[in-house]
Every structure is written in structure tokens, then in C-alpha cells.
Amino acid sequence: MPDNHLTEEALQFGEGGRLFGILTLPSVPISTSPGLPVFVFLTAGFTHRVGPHRLHVRLCRELVRLGFTSLRVDLTSMGDSPPRPGYTNQQSVAADFAEILAMLESRLGPSPLVLAGLCSGADNAITLAPNEPRVVGMVLLDPVCFPDSGLMGFRTRAMVAKYTRPASYISGLRYRFKTLNQPREKKREDDHFVDPLALRDPPTLELMQAAFESIRKRGGRVLSVFTGTAPQYNQVGQLGRVLAVDGYQQFCTELFWRRSDHTFTLEVHRRQLVEAIKTWAGDYIAPERAPTSDDLSERAASLPVLLTDTHQA
Amino acid sequence: MIEPFFFGPNNEQLFAIYHPPIGGSGQVLTVICPPLFIEYMRTQLALRELAISLAESGQHVLRFDYRGTGDSFGELSETAVSDWVDDIALAVREGRDLTGCNVVRLLGVRAGALLACRSAGASSDVERFVLWDPVPDGAAYLHGLRRMQAAIVDLHPPLSRAERRETLHEYAGHRLSERMLDQLRLLDASAYASVPKSKLHVVSTSSEVGFPVPGVATGVTPFACDWETNLADRMMAKPVLEQLRTCLTIT
């Protein structure tokens, strides 16, 4: 599908053409493109390849302006990719990834990869990264986190927030009550609503450490964005403390956007997320170091929108 | 097996998935006009299931995304109702060229129902319109989007003052162009009235919501779609899908 600056190809690939995805490429070769990683956007929950509120489409078409090729793909059982009968979720994701790698290699050659995903998409990126040397980056949106301990650890901060920011606390409780409780009740009443939580295979702390460690050893980078509705996360830097991976600050960027919701429902937040990811990705073109949270906040603040008050923690 | 493709003018191509009929030559083409925004995401799986089911019953089925939505090209902020009305006409034409079918049926879901009737209501090309919970008119739909926006903000973590100002311009989490808003306000129920009643079949999930044109065949299949209040759950409304399938296949 030609356009001024990009081409999109609808692809069916893998055994029997089971997997469906759309590849976004620059229309004409860009001088920065050779050697750049290919972004692979993994489906989140039961949202298909388009992403929540069309986020993946927008990211693919923005990243291509910088020279990046992207694939947005329906993992099996989602969107237009039928299930693999008899497979567990993890087996199915592993088989999907092998077929994604084979397709990308035949189409583009052995390119490095950045795996990107929200929620269960982030879970899958973390699960797949350690064993695939081509993965040199991850964009994790509301990935799993674990409470940090200590006097001012997660639970203490949650307690403090409860009394010092009651609006935020109550809002968080309402959000969790509505989004977690309501679907389950409905599911009990009838079987016609699909519970995305049933799909999650959250990685263990050890697996997360292995994933981050593997990216570090490959000289890659990780961007993690936590929202105000991420469970078990309430302070920027918490993931780094919990993981305790060598050199975390040098290759990881961790953002806490406490005023965003889990799927970036509001346009004002999606716009800022797209800019943050573009900025982070831009450093693959002019590599220096992983941009810090402050870097991304400064650049987001310079956007021509009203967010001079960035929602960076 | 599905056949995905892009079609239409080079700079504003639309994305479509064609489901060929299984086990037959297929005399009927059904074009699915999806709903918009959150409702599009919530029904994607269900409409895919319905398309597969219709193809298994021997129909050609075309699913597509309007300009500025889904995998189609264009930005929502630069799109208007007239573009979507044109897109439906283009999809019908594309489907007919692809399949050679002369018998075309349209399934319109929510706002997709209103758009489908506006696009093809006066045309003799479409033999039947099946409408799932059609929105009454554009103005009412816009009000509904604003109520959804209020629900989103209400459920949302606390926003800054600047963010709150920004959200005043959003409809269910999306920025719409002035052209879009103006055209939606003008899109009244005459779109439904332009379709001969004999061609209209309404499938409603609530007996409390009436269709704006009296005397149209309406089947009620109770199901809690909660279009304006449920902002997240994907639905697999099996009884509704079964009813839609019946309406689209019955001779």
C-alpha cells in the first residue's frame, strides 16, 4: 500500500498462513535505516493488532518517518489469527514468535528487533527476549512489577498516598474495582464477554531479570512506562530497584505517568506516549546513552500541546 | 481462509478483509459496516466470528475499516462523515468487483448502521440492510460519546488542569474535526427513512430503545451490550450474532 513516505503490506504467514500482521516500511530507503531494529508490536489482551485506541497503527506510521520498519501482528487467538488447538498460551506465543522471526528474516534479512507491548503484550516481550539474540530492545507498557521492600517501600508509599492523596487513592480503587471486578461478574452471568485477564501469563521476577540482563549483554535498551493504574507500582525507579540488574540506569528508561490509565484512553496521553517512544527510538539512530526520565519529560514538555505540565512523576 | 488487502485511492487507501464463501460459489455479498471508536474495539472479535459464520453458510463477506480508523489510512482528526459515507460506497463497489455478486446486503453496527443507510439507502444496489442497535441519529450519538468521555474521565486517575482542558475537546477519547462534528449533528434519522422499510431489519438488544422509523421489522434479542457504559470488555454476543446471521441469510 503506497503512501508518500510509507508502504504497508498485509501478510499471512506461518504454518498454513495462520498468523496475520501488517508490515510498515519506508517507501524509499532512508539513510539511517540500515541496521536499525525492526519494531514488533505484540497484541495486548484481546485487542487486535491495531492496538488500544489505534495506538499500534499510529506508532508504526510515526516510527517509519524515522526510518524504522514495524510489524503489528495478531498473535494466535487474537484479531484475525485463529487459535492453535491444544496449545497453552505460552506454547502458542513461542510458536508464534518462531514464525514471526522466520517471516521477518525471509522478508528483511536478519534484523535486530525491538519487542513492544502493553500489559500481556509486555509479558510476552519479557518472556521471549532472553532466548532470542536478535532482540535488542523492549518497549514495555504497564509491565508486571513487584513491590520493593524497605522502610519507604511500596506498601509504605501506598499507605502514605492513601492519606496524602486521597483523590488519587480513591480513583485507583474505583478503577480497579470496575475494570477487574465487573468483567468477572459478567463472565459468571454469561459466557459472552471475553476476559482479557484470562490470557495473562505474568513473568516471574527471575524471568524479568533474565530478560533485562539479556538486553544489557546485547548492548540494547529498554523503555518501561507505568501508568497510574499499574498494580504494584507507585514510584518511578521502583522497577530498577526490584530488578537490581547491573547498569540499569545506563540502558533502561523508566517512566511513571500516574495520570494515564492502562490503555491510554485519552488522546492527550496517547499523543504524549507516541512522542516519548519516538524520542526513545530516535536514540537508535544517534546512540549515546539511554535517555533518562528527565530527558523524555523535557522533550515532551516542548511539544506543541498544552502539556507543559508533563505527567512525569 | 481470509484475503486481506488495501483498496481505494493511493493516498487514502482503506483496509479490508475478504472472507470467500466456503463450499459454494456464493450468490450474496455481505459488507460489514463496523461501529466506531471503543465500540469498534469491543466488537472486532464478534464481527470476525460473524463473518466466518456467514462465509460458512455460503456468502461472500467483506469487512473493512473506515478512513482514519483501524488499519485504514488517514487521520481521524482530518476525516468527516462524508468520507465514511463515501468509504461504504467504495467498499460495496470493491466487493461487487471482487466477487461478481449482484445481491448485496449491508450489516451496520451502531453508528455504522446510520452511515450505511446514508450511503446506500437510496441506492437500488443493496438488497437488505441489517442494523444492530442502530444509533438514533448523529446528534444523539455525539451526546452518547460525550457521556462516554465523562465516564472515562470519571474512572480515570486524577488529571491535571491542562489535561482536563484538553479532554473537553475529546469524544470517547478521540479528537474529532469540526467538519466531523458539524456533519454528525446534521446526520438525522432521515438516513433511515430513505431506505424502503421492506429492506430494513433491525436487531435490538434492548426493548427500551425504539427505532426512529415506525413500522420497521425489529427483533429484540436481550443482551447487555452497555454501549455507553462498558468501556473495555470485548463482547462475543452469541445470541445477537445468531440473530444477525439469521437476518442476513434468510431468503
Q: What is the model's pLDDT at position A177?
A: 60
Its sign, for the CA torsion A149, A153, A156, A158, is: negative
Its sign, for the CA torsion B242, B244, B245, B251, is: positive
The domain A6-148+197-301 is placed in CATH, from the list 3.40.50.300, 3.40.50.1820, 3.90.1300.10, 3.40.50.12160, at 3.40.50.1820
Q: What is the model's pLDDT at position A305?
A: 32
Q: What is the model's pLDDT at position A195?
A: 47
Q: What is the model's pLDDT at position A2?
A: 45
Domain annotation covers residue B58: yes
Contacts of B76 (CB under 8 A, 6+ apart): A54, B68, B69, B174, B175, B176
Q: What is the model's pLDDT at position A176?
A: 61
Q: How far apart are the C-alpha atoms of A166 and A40, rounded to whole Å?
A: 39
Query: Cell triple for residue A262?
Result: 492502562
Domain annotation covers residue B112: yes
pLDDT digits (tens, 9 = 90+) for A44-90: 887 899 999 999 999 999 999 999 999 999 999 999 999 999 998 88
> For chain A, what is the mean pLDDT?
84
Name the minimum distance, in Å, from the CA of A14 to any CA of chain B.
13
Q: What is the model's pLDDT at position A199?
A: 61
3-state SS track over B168-202: CCEECCEECCHHHHHHHHHCCCHHHHCCCHHHEEE
Q: What is the model's pLDDT at position A154?
A: 84
| Residue of chain A whose alpha carbon sits nearest to that of B153 | A266
Apex CA A119: angle with CA A115 and CA A122, to 5°?
20
Q: How far apart are the C-alpha atoms of A226 and A218, rounded to whole Å?
A: 24
Q: How far apart are the C-alpha atoms of B98 and B100, rounded to whole Å?
A: 6
Q: How far apart are the C-alpha atoms of A147 and A204, rounded to whole Å?
A: 13
In chain A, residues 136-155 whose CB comes closer than 8 Å to chain B: none
List chain B residues with CB under 8 Å of A45: 234
- Nearest-CB residue to B166 (from A168, A186, A268): A268
Helix (H, G, I), strand (E, B) or coil at A41: strand
Q: How far apart are the C-alpha atoms of B62 and B98, rounded to whole Å?
A: 10
Apex CA A167: angle with CA B176 and CA A308, to 5°?
50
For residue A13, pLDDT beyond 70 = yes
With contact defined as beta carbons under 8 Å apart, do B67 and B74 qualify?
yes
Cβ–Cβ below 8 Å for A1 and B224: no
Q: What is the model's pLDDT at position A198?
A: 57
Q: What is the model's pLDDT at position A313?
A: 32
Residue owning grid cell 472479535 = B45
Q: How far apart are the C-alpha atoms of A129 and A218, rounded to whole Å?
A: 11
Longest dimension (CA), chain B: 60
Predicted TM-score of the model (pTM): 0.89
Q: Which domain holds residue B240?
A: 3-136+189-249
ipTM: 0.94
* Exposure string over B182-206, b if 16+ CB within 10 A, otherwise e: ebbeebbbebbeebeeebbbbbbbe
Order the strands of the B3-7 sheet from edge to edge.
B3-7, B14-19, B60-64, B28-33, B103-109, B126-132, B200-204, B217-220
Domain annotation covers residue B151: no
Q: Which residue has the higher pLDDT, A312 or A194?
A: A194
Q: pLDDT band at A297, cuts 50/70/90?
A: low
Its sign, for the CA torsion B35, B41, B42, B43, is: positive
Q: What is the model's pLDDT at position B12?
A: 85
Cβ–Cβ below 8 Å for B174 and A171: no
**B104 CB within 8 Å of a chain A CB:** no
- Nearest-CB residue to A265 (from B10, B152, B162): B152
What percentage of chain A exceeds 70 in pLDDT?
77
With contact defined as beta carbons under 8 Å apart, do A182 and A98 qualify?
no
Helix (H, G, I), strand (E, B) or coil at B48: helix
Helix (H, G, I), strand (E, B) or coil at A97: helix
Strands A135-141 and A221-227: what pairing? parallel
Q: What is the model's pLDDT at position A290?
A: 53
Rg of chain B over CA atoms, in angstroms? 18
Q: How far apart are the C-alpha atoms of A61 and A69, rounded to whole Å?
A: 9
**B64 CB within 8 Å of a chain A CB:** no
Domain annotation covers residue B182: no
pLDDT digits (tens, 9 = 90+) for A164-204: 766 666 666 666 665 554 444 444 344 455 544 456 788 99
Q: How far apart are the C-alpha atoms of B175 and B193, rounded to whole Å?
A: 30
Residue ranges, chain B, pLDDT below 50: none
Instruction: Indicate which CATH number applies to the domain containing B46.
Output: 3.40.50.1820
Instruction: Report the DSSP beta bridge partners of residue A225.
Output: A141, A255
| Residue of chain A whose alpha carbon sits nearest to that of B72 | A57
Domain residue ranges in chain A: 6-148+197-301
Domain annotation covers residue B172: no
For residue A1, pLDDT beyond 60 = no
What percentage of chain A exceeds 90 in pLDDT?
61
What end-to-end distance do the CA atoms of chain B give, in Å?
26
Q: What is the model's pLDDT at position A185?
A: 40
Domain tally for chain B?
1
Cβ–Cβ below 8 Å for A194 and B233: yes
**B52 CB within 8 Å of a chain A CB:** no
Q: What is the model's pLDDT at position A173?
A: 65
Domain annotation covers residue B7: yes
Q: What is the model's pLDDT at position A294?
A: 64
pLDDT digits (tens, 9 = 90+) for A213-228: 999 999 999 999 999 8
**Quick one: which H or E segment has residue A211?**
helix A205-217
List chain A residues with CB under 8 Å of B157: 168, 171-172, 175, 227-229, 258-261
